[in-house]
Structure 1
C-alpha cells in the first residue's frame, strides 16, 4: 500500500513518544514498584480522557455486549505490555529490552500468520531484516563487538512476553470480532474507544498491582515527602500524556490504515528518535551510525509496505 503523509504522521508519533518514555520510564524504575507504576499511569490516563469519553457513559448496553473484547484488548495493551516492560527492566538491561523490542515486526508476522492466516511475503521478511539491522546498529554504537557482551536474564523473557502481547493487541485492533466491525461497531471516537480500553485494562492492572504489593521485598522504601514525589509526578504526567494518550491514539490510527505488520516496522524508529531526544535535551551529538540506522529502518518500511495487504 502507499503510505500517505497522514499515515506517516500517525505511525511516526508512537515511536517518537516511546523514545521519550524510554528515558523517563527508566528514571522512574526503581523509585516505584513497576506494576504499581503502570497502574498509576493508566489511572491518570483514565482521568484525563474521561471528559472526552463522556459519550460512552450513557451506552451501558453497547459496552456490556462487547465487554469481553474490551477486557481482552485492555488487559493486553494497557494491563500487560508496559507492566511487563517495567518488570523486565528490573533485571534486564535497557540494551536487552530494546533488542527484544526490535523483534516486534517478526512477532507481528508470526501472530498474523498463526492467528489470522496472513501470508508472510519475502519482502516483509527482508524488511524485517533491514529494520532490525538498523536497530542493532544503534544499540551496538556502530561496533558489532559490543553485542558480544550481551547477557540474557529472566527479564528478557518478560520482554518477549510483552512483545507478544503487543502483537496480539495490534492484530485485535486490525481484525476485531464481527460485533466491532462495520455497521455493528458503535460510533465511538478515538478517545471513547481508548478510554474503554483503559478502564478495562486498569482493572487488570490494579489486580496485578495488588499481587505485587503482597510480594514486595521488605527492604523496598516508598518515596517520602513532596521533594521525592515531585519528579515522579512530573514523569508520570509526561508518560500519561505522551507515550499513553498520544502514542496509543496514533498507533490505533496507524494500524487501521497500514496494518499491524507495517506499523511494527515504525516501532523500530524508537532508538533513533531516542538519539534525537538526547541531542536536543542533553547535547549528545548523533554519531555516524544514527543516520545509517535510520536509512536501514526506512528501507525496511519501504520494502515491507509495498506488498503488505491492508487488513
Structure 2
C-alpha cells in the first residue's frame, strides 16, 4: 500500500523522485557503499565505538524531528514488543555497526563491501536452516557460489591462508557482522504492524542506548580518543546519510515499486563499495577481489533470480 506518511517531512524533496524509484535505489545503495569507505577514512580520526554511538544518536535526533508524532501514536503497539525490539536493535544495528567499524581497522573497504554484499544469500541460508524454507537446487548452488566468494576474499586468494586458517581478523568480524544482519532481516517477518519509519525509529533508539556500554568499555580500556575535525565530519555523515537519509529513500522506493523489486537493487552495494574504495582511497583491486565479487554477485543472481524463477516466486 502506497503511503506518504513515512516520508511526509521530505515530501517536497522527494516529489521529484516519484515514479523514479530506480534512481532512489541507486542513490540509496551508493550511500551504503560509501559507508565502507567512511569506515576506513575514520581509522585514526574517530574511535570505532564512538562512531557507532554517534551514528545512532545522530540518527535518533533526526528521527525525533521527523517521526516523533508517528512513534507516539503507535507506542501502544510497540511497548509490548520491547524484548523483540531490543534483540533487533542490538543485533542488527549496534553489534553489526560495532563490528563493521572495528573491522575497518584491520581490513580494506573493498573487503568490507564485498563481504557485506553476501547478506542476501546469508538470509536465504538462514531461512533454510531456521525457517525450514524449501529451496531449489539452483538456489542451493547460488548459496554455495556466494559462500565461495567469502572464502576467496577471506583467504586473499591464497591456499596457504585457507589451509592455515590465518584469516584477517577484520574479515572475520565482517562475516560475523553480516551473519548478525542476516538474522535481523529474518527477524523482520515478526515486525509489529506499524509503519516502517516507526519500526526503524524504535530499533534505532535501542541501538543508540545499547551502544553506550560499548563506548564506556572503549573509554575504560584506553582505546577512546577525541575525534579530529575529519572525525566529526565523518560522524555527521554516517549519522545522517547511511543511517537516516538512505533509510527514508529506501522506504519511499519500496512504497513505489514494492519490496521484491526494490530488493534487487541492493546487489549494487558490493559494486559501489569496491569502486569507491579504489577511486577515493586508492586501494588496489587485486585479481582475487574481482573473483570474489564475481562469485558473490553470481551466487546472488543464481539464488534470487534463476532459483526464484524456477519456484515461481516473486
TM-score normalised to the size of structure 1? 0.71
Tell whether the 8 Å contact from 1:70 to 1:200 is kept in structure 2 after alignment: yes
| Residue matched to 1:17 | 31
CA distance in 2, matches of 1:303, 1:106: 7
Among 106, 122, 132, which residue is 1:107 paired with? 122
Tell whether the 8 Å contact from 1:102 to 1:135 is kept in structure 2 after alignment: no
Are positions 1:74 and 2:89 aligned together? yes
| Residue matched to 2:260 | 258
Q: Deviations over 1:191-215 (max 9, x none)?
A: 2221111101111111222122212
Among 174, 193, 199, which residue is 1:193 paired with? 199
CA distance in 2, matches of 1:216, 1:274: 31
| Residue matched to 1:222 | 226
| Residue matched to 2:105 | 90
SS in structure 1 at match of 2:212: helix
| Residue matched to 2:50 | 36
TM-score normalised to the size of structure 2? 0.71
| Residue matched to 2:242 | 243
Q: Deviations over 1:81-103 (max 9, x none)?
A: 11111122233444554454344
Q: Report matched runs for 1:107-126 at 5 Å.
A: 107-126=122-141
Give 5+ residue unaligned stretches, structure 1.
Answer: none
SS in structure 2 at match of 1:63: helix
Q: Does 191-200 or 150-159 show the bigger shift?
A: 150-159
SS in structure 1 at match of 2:219: helix
Question: 1:235, CA displacement in angstroms?
Answer: 1.7
CA distance in 1, matches of 2:67, 2:26: 25
SS in structure 2 at match of 1:119: coil
Among 54, 57, 73, which residue is 2:72 paired with? 57
| Residue matched to 1:270 | 269
CA distance in 2, matches of 1:266, 1:125: 21
Q: Deviations over 1:58-109 (max 9, x none)?
A: 5443221121121111112221111111122233444554454344344212
| Residue matched to 2:297 | 297
CA distance in 1, matches of 2:106, 2:277: 24
Tell whether the 8 Å contact from 2:114 to 2:274 is kept in structure 1 after alignment: no
Q: How many residues align?
A: 284
C-alpha distance 100-147 of structure 1, shift in aligned 2 (>3 A): farther
C-alpha distance 196-258 of structure 1, shift in aligned 2 (>3 A): same
Tell whether the 8 Å contact from 1:269 to 1:294 is kept in structure 2 after alignment: no
C-alpha distance 17-135 of structure 1, shift in aligned 2 (>3 A): farther
C-alpha distance 22-82 of structure 1, shift in aligned 2 (>3 A): same
SS in structure 2 at match of 1:85: helix
Tell whether the 8 Å contact from 1:126 to 1:300 is kept in structure 2 after alignment: no
Coordinate RMSD, CA, aligned: 4.2
Tell whether the 8 Å contact from 1:132 to 1:297 is kept in structure 2 after alignment: no
Tell whether the 8 Å contact from 2:85 to 2:206 is kept in structure 1 after alignment: yes
Question: 1:17, CA displacement in angstroms?
Answer: 1.7
Question: 1:165, CA displacement in angstroms?
Answer: 0.7
Tell whether the 8 Å contact from 2:118 to 2:146 is kept in structure 1 after alignment: no
Question: 1:242, CA displacement in angstroms?
Answer: 2.4
Question: 1:41, CA displacement in angstroms?
Answer: 0.8
C-alpha distance 171-249 of structure 1, shift in aligned 2 (>3 A): farther
